[in-house]
Amino acid sequence: MSDPVLYSERGSSWWPVLWGPAFALLGLLAEQLTLGPQHVAMWVLVGLALAVCAATWVYGRQRLLAVRLTTSELVLGREAVAVDKIAEVNDVGAPVGARVLGGSWTVPKGTGEIPLRLTDDTVVLAWAKDHEKLSAELAELVEERSPEL
């Protein structure tokens, strides 16, 4: 049985794949309104090529920018951290050069950073679009795991 998901971000939806075919359709319609040769096959190929490029982009964003928090692990992009290895969420400063979780050099654009102190006393940076909600969920999990004495 899998753990319940407490927080989740997909990284991207699939609707951008429709942009290319929509632009190609607009091009085809504009060509139909003008006098001259018609290039229907070319517009179909352009629409398909743009859709394939967009699908590759969406797939990459879903793999690299997805965030999922369960009761046992925090998954950021390509990296997973067990919740029991997180020692502190609140009042953790982010030192210069702290490692970013997920396999990136920097926190992804459009996300907020969440400094986490691990049980080995290192500080790493988690991230999410709604970083306040993820931080609150993480703090609650860490507090449940290690109650105050």
What is the domain count for the chain?
2
- On the 0-12 / 13-18 / 19+ scale of CB atoms within 10 A, 13 is exposed
Q: Can you give the pLDDT at residue 147? A: 60
Q: Can you give the pLDDT at residue 41? A: 94
Euclidean distance between CA atoms 134 and 116, whole angstroms: 12
Q: Which stretches of 13-39 are DSSP H helices?
A: 19-33
At which of 18, 33, 64 does a domain end?
64
Euclidean distance between CA atoms 131 and 112, whole angstroms: 5
Tokens at 46, concatenated: 């352009």
Instruction: Band the pLDDT of 94: cuts 50, 70, 90.
Output: confident
Euclidean distance between CA atoms 95 and 7, whole angstroms: 26
> Averaged over 125-149, what is the pLDDT?
85
Residue 136 lies in a domain: yes
Helix (H, G, I), strand (E, B) or coil at 45: helix
Residue 114 lies in a domain: yes
**121, 108: one domain:** yes
**Residue 122 belongs to domain spanning:** 67-145
Supply the mean pLDDT for the chain: 90
Predicted confidence (pLDDT) at residue 149 exceeds the cutoff of 70: no
Over residues 36-93, the pLDDT tens digits come to 888 999 999 999 999 999 999 999 999 999 999 999 999 999 999 999 999 999 888 8
Output 2 or 84, whichever has higher pLDDT: 84
Residue among 5, 3, 1, 8 nearest 76 (CA)? 8
Residue 56 lies in a domain: yes
Does residue 64 contact residue 102 with C-beta atoms inside 8 Å? Answer: yes
Q: Can you give the pLDDT at residue 19? A: 95
Residue 1 lies in a domain: no
Tokens at 121, concatenated: 């006393």
**72, 136: one domain:** yes
> Averaged over 21-35, what is the pLDDT?
93
**Residues 89-97: contacts with CB under 8 Å, at least 24 apart:** 89/114, 89/116, 89/117, 89/135, 89/138, 89/139, 89/142, 90/135, 90/139, 92/116, 92/117, 92/123, 93/123, 94/123, 94/125, 95/123
**56, 93: one domain:** no
Q: Can you give the pLDDT at residue 92? A: 84
**45, 96: one domain:** no
pTM for this one? 0.78
**71, 39: one domain:** no
